[in-house]
Structure 1
Amino acid sequence: MTPPLQPLLHDLVGVVLAPTSVLSDAGGQIRPGVGVQGVFRADARVLSRAELRLDGRELEPIAHAPDGPHGARFVGLARWLGDPGPDPTVRVDRLRHLDGDGLTEEIVVRSTAAVPVRALLTVDLACDLAPIEVLKSGGSAPSLPAEAGPDGLTWQAGGTTVTVTGEDAAVADGALRWPIDLPPGGTATLRWHLLVEDPKAVVAAPAGPLPWSRPEVTAGDHRLTRLLERSLDDLQALRLTEAGDPDGTFIGAGVPWFLTLFGRDSLWAARMMLPLGTDLAASTLRVLARRQGTRDDPASGEAPGKIMHELRRHEFHLAGNGLRLPAAYYGTVDATMLWVILLHEAWRWGLPPERVEPLLPHLEAALGWLAESADPDGDGFVEYRDTSGRGLSNQGWKDSGDAVRFHDGRRATAPIALVEVQGYAYQAAVGGADLLEAFGRPGAQRWREHAARLAERFRAAFWVDGPLGAHPALALDAAKRPVDSLTSNIGHLLGTGLLTAAESAQVAAVLATPEMSGGFGLRTMSTTDAGFSPLSYHCGSIWAHDTAIVLSGLAETGHGAPAARLADGLLGAAEAFGYRLPELYGGDERTLLGRPVPYPAACSPQAWSAAASVAILRAVLGLHPDVPNGRLEVRPLPGLPFGPVTARGLRIAGATIDVSLDATGTAKVSGLPADIAVVAA
């Protein structure tokens, strides 16, 4: 018997306004028992069926498109109605919009027929309140009994109440029903509404305005502006707070599986969005600091000073693989260091001292974790191992079970010291030292010395010779052997300070090879490695955020040409995906289909994929602020690879600034505070 498989997502149409999201087919239908179609609120499916029919027949879908940041429009035909002949004369537009409490759908039936049109329109409904992890495991849940009212249906279970009402609708047999009677050329507009009451949800919609700016961007390459527009809509839609904390905004990781607080994902998204202001970074840091670990708990992975991985309403149990994660799970090796790095970078972008200072005790606790719990065997490297037997076996950003492989395809055994994690540790130690010194707290010299020792040990232990040249290994395994595959992870070292200039140039060279950069972005693993597969989750696919991180590091370390090539790959992928970059996609050659092959279970929209658009913009403009020292260094990508660019409405030190690159590649910055000077490279 074939075990249940995770549902495919690539051909579904998503609409999101966190914590609510909708996944339907291309015609707008939500079909029962078909994968993960449905309306979701936080971690539960609150509507498992919403099928529209005219006279018991389904429409023929012909088009769909976004309708604003939180909506979609579906167009279908009823060719059996209206005038005979080849041209359709009865069309139905289905407009779906999310609001703070649920969903509204408007159904517009238009006739251009010369004869009257009469029909019965029905919307069949069901609710199962299936937990998201059950659906991710390929499972399902039975439909709940519905209580019928005069104009709608209600379902209740576990404290959650789901209500659907139809304006002027009759209710029968689990469906809303409207008679349609159109004169020649007539139109009818019908509406139904979904309302969800879920007092046990751990996440909620945020209050107040966006905590970031929405810049106006023009570029010679219109793909860049289109990607930014769609991505900023999606980032707005992915905003969340913890229930009971309406001001603690962060970005939920992605639809449908991860629409909640994820330490790593939320931190990276906030970091990429620093050119739009520091408010999101400040609130993300504060939310995660409030849940910073205080005790040692092997079951949850919690440790003193450690930053959490993910938050759920209950245990997250994926059937079939033994994974049982507690509601608050700390099984991440990198989130703690990424928290420190974000605090340091937000300070450099102008986060005011009075907002930095309350976070300094959490900084010291995070550095304490780095000094102690992060290195259990005392060899000087940060490493991980799941000691519970129920958690994630790999705890870096590549967290699938087969993600850490040798060049010959063998899997590494834990404890594992990942390459990029050592770069994060170095950057966190140096950035933490800067903050401690700037705010008059002890320990700065200790952490600079820690970083220097780490760089020396790293240089001796991690470098290997591979088919494409020397490069850092993916990791060290339990026996301290270098895991010698060539992966995108090494690109995360660029810009951390761990590498010398010569080492950065060598990393840039191997990443620029066709074996790594021949697809629409950066492959997660080289085609020369035995574990490579273009549709492997972490061993050959392309992730938008991963590519954006690496191209940012390439740009920062002066390797503009490979950075521009990776950015061009992301823009090509964005065009193919309607400018909503999914979580990941296939790592095939660009020439294979002329467009990327979808990874069929990828989340979309997804936080750090959407935030990658801002990272590309920053790399193109070359913005490197150091507000505490009164500097803004501007180092645009050479050669204007995306034409002249103007960005109006970026933020540095709380000021709204404009940045432009003219046809000669000359940068101009206006609106900076008087105490910040522009320094050209």
Structure 2
Amino acid sequence: MSGATQPEDHGRQPLLNDALVVLEAPTQAWSNEAGDLGGAPIHGVFHGDWRYIAGLSLRVAGEPVEPTGTALTASRAVFHGIARAIDDVTPDPRVLIERERSVRAGALTERIRIRNGRDAAIVAELEVVVEASIAQLSTVKAGRPAPVEIGWRADGDALEASDGTRSLEIAADGALSRDGDRVTARWRLEVDAGATADAVLSLGLVDPTAVVGPAADRRIGMLPASGDAALDRWSRRATEDLRAMLLDAGAGPFAAAGAPWFMTLFGRDSLITARLLLPLSLELAEGTLRTLAARQGTAVDPATAEEPGKILHELRQSTFTMPGEGIELPPVYYGTVDATPLWIVLLHEAWGAGLPLATVRELRPALEAALGWLRDHGSPDGSGFLRYIDRSGTGLANQGWKDSGDSVRFRDGRIAEGPIALCEVQAQACQAAAGGAALLDALGDAEGAIEWRAWAERMRERFRAAFWVDRGGERYPAIALDGAGEPVDAKTSNMGQLLGTTLLTEEEEAQVARLLVVPRFASGWGLRTMASDEGGYWPLSYHCGSVWPHDTGIVIEGMLRAGLGAEARTLAAQLLRTADAFGGRLPELFAGFSAEEASTPVAYPASCRPQAWSAAAVVPVHRALTD
């Protein structure tokens, strides 16, 4: 036995790459490819921040159905299979099972159809077993589900389980029985030759403490047909997923970040998704802006990272704990450095896309508060650069979009120490100041507009002096400045998010774009988060070598703004190839292996999907390949 220190066992986060999900926010069902739930840690029926069902399995004549294929949309799946226990002895399957699962917000319906292709009638004994288990989402994510105690009562032909707050109703058109927290529905179906027969089970999920609910309006426009079959398939699937992920917290629709762990409001994710989708939905932009403005910070609170004018990071029903990482996030958490400038950017771009000036005027107090945060709180050291550091001791160590603890590294792989000033956050702040000035001009505040144009120009000058580095014969912007003001000199995709923001000159933008399309960055499947020749690179690192589709999409969008169409098309073609390989449902991220190393993109096994901003990346890709 070695003397190596063994890590403390905090459970293992469930892997997702082999599971199938059907969803309509805030409800989702995860199963295997045959439709059964319970064989993997991720399996279950979730509603909001809780899992209600840990298992749901079908047996016909006491045997599992043998799967033959699945037809899938965002909110509906039909699992096709055969039941040989009640079939004849010929080689051709004559008894088919169609198991249709549909999910609506707060509800799941399971319809099992027996199709008898035999020449004689059959009797099908069906059994569906439901394992009730109400457990907080964070405990499932940690790999240590902690079910709460539940009580049961009969309600007519249904059974209801409750923990005293949340409730689960199980109903069936067959006979229901219960053994502890396991409920069994049984049917005996007589099916004539050439006929069909159905059995139906339904679940109802209720949580009166939910902080977000389903969007009443799930409209998102469609991209025009491109003539490219793969691009059009991706467009249809992405739009369908995005519609299924829309939520409302009382101020209009916004996109949940992603399934399964982030089916709620995330400032950064929801803003970026709404911005990418502006050509398809102005209503989504307005709903996102209003929802976040209603929860804008008003006080200084180190425990939640709240500050006056700051836009929140995450909204939950209760404290969200990540065992083993030392992270414990309060229900309303403001630990993000970029959501506030991104809110201003979205407001400006939505106005440019047709948001009425009257709506901008209504949001003016939130605009002025957000601009005030850039000036008064975003740069606590007085350097003029937006910086972050976790002051609570239990929050996120990194508070940009690359929010894992090891994401900000030097070229030799060393992890930078804070307070951190990320390069793309300075670009977002510059863009926000310029956009805010245009909005103030439109609102009749010429003096305020002058102030913020000058602020943006000073940011450009500061950035040029502090962030650019020369390493190994290459000149490029560092990912960040560390707490001592030193450039963190790894080459990362962050520099791509400077494009089209007004931070760089045309020559600087062209220089960055040329670097991003070389094979060290452009993997053949999309843009790596870190160049493959850096000391911290690893293809399965969450933020230091993987490919994030939304990141590639934002860079493509910036390239188009900067007039760099050839480079945009290079990355767009790669991401389209990847989207087709994933059946049009791009995951949160995937491995950074090159197209030469792997003939298909390699999954990052814990990657969420669908992910709103990954789906929204189809919009800049479509523009790059069709304009």
TM bucket (normalised to shorter chain) is over 0.9
Matched, 1:327 2:331: yes
The 1:466–1:95 alpha-carbon spacing in structure 2 relative to 1, beyond 3 Å, is farther
- SS of aligned partner of 1:471: strand
The 1:60–1:288 alpha-carbon spacing in structure 2 relative to 1, beyond 3 Å, is same
Please give the alpha-carbon distance, in whole angstroms, between the structure 2 residues aligned to 1:584 and 1:91: 37
> Displacement of 1:320 after TM fit?
1.5
Give the match for residue 45 of structure 1.
51
Match of residue 462, structure 2, among 443, 457, 461: 457
- SS of aligned partner of 1:517: coil
Give the match for residue 547 of structure 2.
542
Match of residue 64, structure 1, among 67, 70, 78: 70
Give the match for residue 214 of structure 1.
222
Contact 1:534–1:587 (8 Å) recurs in 2: yes
Contact 2:61–2:86 (8 Å) recurs in 1: no
1:1-40 → structure 2 map (5 Å cutoff): 2-31=9-38, 34-40=40-46
Q: Which deviations, in whole Å up to 9, do the C-alpha atoms of 1:541-600 show, x marking residues without a partner? A: 111110000011112212222211111111111111110111111111112232100111
Please give the alpha-carbon distance, in whole angstroms, between the structure 2 residues aligned to 1:562 and 1:533: 24
Please give the alpha-carbon distance, in whole angstroms, between the structure 2 residues aligned to 1:435 and 1:559: 27
Q: Which segments of 5 or more consecutive residues in structure 2 lack a partner in the other structure?
A: 1-7
Please give the alpha-carbon distance, in whole angstroms, between the structure 2 residues aligned to 1:594 and 1:501: 36
Matched, 1:419 2:428: no
Matched, 1:384 2:393: no
Matched, 1:434 2:434: no
Give the match for residue 607 of structure 2.
602
RMSD: 1.6
- SS of aligned partner of 1:451: helix
- SS of aligned partner of 2:438: helix
- SS of aligned partner of 2:85: coil
Please give the alpha-carbon distance, in whole angstroms, between the structure 1 residues aligned to 2:154 and 2:428: 56
Please give the alpha-carbon distance, in whole angstroms, between the structure 1 residues aligned to 2:281 and 2:170: 39
Matched, 1:579 2:587: no
- SS of aligned partner of 1:396: coil
Match of residue 164, structure 1, among 162, 170, 176: 170
- Of 271-280 and 505-514, more deviation after overlay is shown by 271-280
Match of residue 234, structure 1, among 236, 241, 252: 241
Please give the alpha-carbon distance, in whole angstroms, between the structure 2 residues aligned to 1:180 and 1:98: 25
Q: Which segments of 5 or more consecutive residues in structure 1 lack a partner in the other structure?
A: 622-635, 637-681
Contact 1:152–1:171 (8 Å) recurs in 2: no
Give the match for residue 5 of structure 2.
none
Give the match for residue 368 of structure 1.
372
- SS of aligned partner of 2:617: helix
Please give the alpha-carbon distance, in whole angstroms, between the structure 2 residues aligned to 1:109 and 1:466: 67
Q: Which deviations, in whole Å up to 9, do the C-alpha atoms of 1:463-488 show, x marking residues without a partner? A: 11234721100101111111110111
Contact 2:23–2:104 (8 Å) recurs in 1: no
Please give the alpha-carbon distance, in whole angstroms, between the structure 2 residues aligned to 1:467 and 1:548: 28
Please give the alpha-carbon distance, in whole angstroms, between the structure 1 residues aligned to 2:194 and 2:72: 27
Please give the alpha-carbon distance, in whole angstroms, between the structure 2 residues aligned to 1:204 and 1:60: 37
Q: Which deviations, in whole Å up to 9, do the C-alpha atoms of 1:380-406 show, x marking residues without a partner? A: 111100000000000000000111111
Give the match for residue 194 of structure 2.
185
Match of residue 399, structure 2, among 385, 395, 399: 395
Please give the alpha-carbon distance, in whole angstroms, between the structure 2 residues aligned to 1:427 and 1:222: 36
- Of 201-210 and 360-369, more deviation after overlay is shown by 201-210
- SS of aligned partner of 2:514: helix
1:53-452 → structure 2 map (5 Å cutoff): 53-67=59-73, 69-142=74-147, 144=150, 146-147=152-153, 151-173=157-179, 174-208=183-217, 210=219, 212-215=220-223, 217-242=224-249, 245=250, 247-441=251-445, 442-452=447-457
Give TM-score, length-normalised by structure 2.
0.95
Please give the alpha-carbon distance, in whole angstroms, between the structure 2 residues aligned to 1:55 and 1:582: 37
Please give the alpha-carbon distance, in whole angstroms, between the structure 2 residues aligned to 1:302 and 1:552: 31
> Displacement of 1:438 after TM fit?
1.6
Give the match for residue 488 of structure 2.
483
Contact 1:117–1:183 (8 Å) recurs in 2: yes
> Displacement of 1:205 after TM fit?
1.0
Q: Which deviations, in whole Å up to 9, do the C-alpha atoms of 1:229-267 show, x marking residues without a partner? A: 11110111001011xx2x521111111000000000000
1:463-542 → structure 2 map (5 Å cutoff): 463-467=468-472, 469-542=474-547
The 1:78–1:153 alpha-carbon spacing in structure 2 relative to 1, beyond 3 Å, is same
Q: Which deviations, in whole Å up to 9, do the C-alpha atoms of 1:170-189 show, x marking residues without a partner? A: 43542111113223333211
The 1:468–1:153 alpha-carbon spacing in structure 2 relative to 1, beyond 3 Å, is farther
Contact 1:340–1:428 (8 Å) recurs in 2: yes
- SS of aligned partner of 2:346: helix
Match of residue 558, structure 1, among 547, 555, 563: 563
- The letter of the residue matching 1:106 is R
- The letter of the residue matching 1:578 is G
Give the match for residue 658 of structure 1.
none
Give TM-score, length-normalised by structure 1.
0.88
Please give the alpha-carbon distance, in whole angstroms, between the structure 2 residues aligned to 1:172 and 1:387: 50
Contact 1:466–1:486 (8 Å) recurs in 2: no
Give the match for residue 593 of structure 1.
598
- The letter of the residue matching 1:42 is G
Q: Which deviations, in whole Å up to 9, do the C-alpha atoms of 1:8-44 show, x marking residues without a partner? A: 0011111111111111111100116x31211111111
The 1:582–1:308 alpha-carbon spacing in structure 2 relative to 1, beyond 3 Å, is same
Contact 1:150–1:170 (8 Å) recurs in 2: no
Contact 2:151–2:163 (8 Å) recurs in 1: no
Identity of aligned residues (%): 48
> Displacement of 1:514 after TM fit?
0.4
